[in-house]
């Protein structure tokens, strides 16, 4: 009886099949002991018959997981049940880069964000002496909140160790008997030294990284062939086609970075992913600076002039008039998506975000009183929660061009915040900003940093952001005080000033330096 036909696998309840490949079957399962969803990978027996090799894999997998890096998937358990070896990892609600490639529609800034996060994860792993060995689109996932997760650390080494042949093509031919499509995909992302069966180091991951980045930009692989031998020959002997053949407007610095990652001789590549990461970050900052300069000259355009449509790989450097906005167009704030289950964040983060954005002389926030009026005109309850869909409808009714939405999620004690500015007409993301807080107490500070980053992406200068920034002394560093203040502010916006006062007073008790709470009380 196969695992797929069973409802239980040890303490794991099988919910559904996720996929299968050369490295095993993957299922969505529930850990009945800890009551959480997991991804359960059942390893093929042929890769685990040698106990020494299996033990080596277990050590490496645990080492990768112990890095506790937000961009590396967490491994919960490596074990054996019913004669089968398995790995239980966190379940990622998102898409692989392969899925995203099929859709083919990411901005250049989004591509850079994905690969900067990927490079950060690899840099952390490499610093710990861990080489991934199998970087490919299927092993890089993008969560719905924009966070990247790298999968399957250590599994490629397990596959290599399961065969006695030194020639890697021999290994893949053996694997190809059961799943040639998967193996062909893996071969396409090998480094030359991997293809030769030589000893590898971090520079092998750099090469594979470059292949995936090339493919994301151009929509095609740099080394192609009809057979495994053809692909290996291309990797070993042929230079990839010029990136400009498929993405003529790709920045020259990006072309240089990719070319350096794909050098046949590893000593000519980046010596470390840290160096690669630095170049990617510098490139992204340069592109944002160029955009801000264009914005300053035009005095009326919003960012998002980097529409990088995949897989054709054409960069459109001209924003349409429909996508532009004046420097004082109002922005609508939708409700913050709280994925943590912690009530203290409900309404609180929207208030904190408003504090930060209201400091900007470049941006105007659409007043909550007008939001309530619009809801009445729409025949809705004035107090209705403004979701992203409802916010977009309000924007279209009132002629607002942009709305801002945000989410907070948590990975244990680490909190991840995501802010997005969205074109209300098309629904396309204009700018996205991520921030991470190591504890609940750091969430407000992280949100402030994310808001400043979003202001910058919307075209505000760094000097302006630094000059007009909400200080914690003026707002508050206390989540509880801000939560109570938000409740008072909600009452004030309804015109219930008397009911609002107790909330403002309580906020002051929690934080005697909370200036906004004093202003709220004085205004009533």
Positive or negative, the Cα torsion across 2, 5, 6, 7?
A: positive
Rg (CA), the chain: 26
Q: Are 296 and 281 in contact (CB under 8 A)?
A: no
Positive or negative, the Cα torsion across 322, 327, 333, 338?
A: positive
Distance CA 432, CA 454 (A): 7
- Residue 461 per-residue DSSP state: -
Tokens of 264: 């046949």
Distance CA 109, CA 283 (A): 10
Number of H helices, E strands in the chain: 19, 17
- Least Cα distance to 456 among 487, 475, 432 occurs for 432
DSSP E strands: which ranges in 170-295? Answer: none
Q: Which of 134, 145, 152, 511 is catalytic?
A: 134
Q: Are 490 and 382 in contact (CB under 8 A)?
A: no
Question: Cα-flanking dihedrals φ and ψ of residue 483, to 5°?
Answer: -60, -50
HEC readout, 313-343: CEEECCCCHHHCCCCCCEEEECCCEECCCCH
Tokens of 234: 């291309």
Plot region of 458 (φ>0 → left; ψ -120 to 50 → alpha; else → beta): alpha
Distance CA 503, CA 512 (A): 13
- Name 234's Cβ contacts closer than 8 Å, sequence gap at least 6: 223, 224, 225
- Least Cα distance to 333 among 415, 410, 425, 395 occurs for 395
- Give catalytic status of residue 161 as yes or no: no
SS3 content of the chain, % helix, strand, coil (to 5): 50, 20, 35
Active site (catalytic) residues = 134
């Amino acid at each position: 009886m196969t695992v797929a036909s069973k409802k239980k696998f040890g303490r794991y309840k099988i919910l559904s099949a996720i996929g299968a490949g050369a490295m095993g079957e993957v299922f969505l399962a529930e850990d009945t002991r800890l009551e959480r969803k997991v991804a359960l990978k059942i390893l093929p027996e042929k890769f685990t018959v040698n106990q020494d090799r299996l033990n080596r894999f277990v050590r490496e997998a645990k080492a990768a997981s112990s890095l506790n890096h937000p961009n590396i998937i967490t491994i919960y358990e490596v074990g054996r049940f019913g004669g089968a070896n398995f790995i239980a990892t966190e379940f990622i609600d998102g898409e692989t880069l392969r899925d995203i490639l099929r859709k083919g529609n990411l901005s250049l800034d989004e591509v850079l964000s994905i690969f900067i996060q990927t490079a950060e994860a690899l840099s952390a792993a490499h610093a710990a002496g861990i080489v991934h060995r199998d970087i490919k689109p299927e092993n890089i996932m993008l969560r719905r909140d924009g966070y990247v997760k790298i999968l399957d650390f250590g599994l490629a080494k397990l596959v290599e160790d399961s065969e006695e042949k030194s020639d890697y093509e021999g290994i893949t031919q053996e694997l190809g008997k059961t799943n040639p499509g998967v193996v062909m995909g893996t071969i396409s992302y090998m480094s030359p030294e991997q293809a030769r069966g030589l000893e590898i180091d971090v520079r092998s991951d750099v090469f594979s990284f470059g292949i995936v980045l090339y493919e994301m930009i151009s929509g095609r692989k740099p080394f192609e062939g009809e057979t495994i031998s053809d692909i290996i020959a291309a990797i070993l002997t042929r230079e990839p086609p010029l990136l400009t053949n498929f993405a003529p407007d790709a920045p020259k610095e990006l072309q240089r970075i990719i070319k350096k990652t794909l050098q046949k001789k590893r000593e000519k590549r980046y010596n470390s992913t840290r160096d690669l990461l630095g170049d990617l970050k510098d490139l992204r900052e340069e592109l944002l600076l160029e955009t801000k300069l264009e914005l300053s000259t035009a005095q009326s355009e919003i960012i998002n002039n980097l529409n990088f449509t995949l897989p054709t790989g054409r960069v459109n450097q001209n924003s349409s008039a429909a996508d532009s906005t004046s420097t004082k167009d109002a922005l609508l704030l939708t409700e913050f998506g709280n994925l943590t289950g912690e009530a203290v964040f409900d309404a609180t983060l929207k208030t904190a975000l408003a504090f930060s954005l209201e400091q900007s002389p470049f941006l105007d926030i659409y007043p909550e009183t007008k939001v309530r009026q619009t809801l009445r005109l729409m025949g809705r309850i004035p107090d209705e929660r403004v979701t992203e869909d409802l916010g977009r409808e309000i924007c279209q009714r009132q002629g607002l061009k942009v709305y801002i939405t945000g989410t907070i999620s948590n990975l244990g004690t680490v909190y991840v915040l995501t802010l997005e500015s969205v074109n209300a007409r098309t629904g396309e993301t204009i700018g996205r900003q991520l921030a991470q807080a190591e504890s609940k107490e750091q969430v407000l500070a992280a949100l402030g940093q994310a808001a400043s980053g979003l202001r910058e992406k919307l075209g505000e200068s760094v000097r302006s952001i630094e000059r007009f920034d909400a200080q914690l002394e003026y707002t508050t560093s206390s989540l509880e005080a801000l939560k109570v203040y938000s409740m008072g502010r909600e009452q004030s916006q309804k015109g219930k000033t008397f009911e609002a006062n107790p909330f403002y007073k309580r906020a002051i008790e929690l934080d005697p330096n909370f200036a906004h709470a004093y202003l709220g009380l004085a205004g009533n």
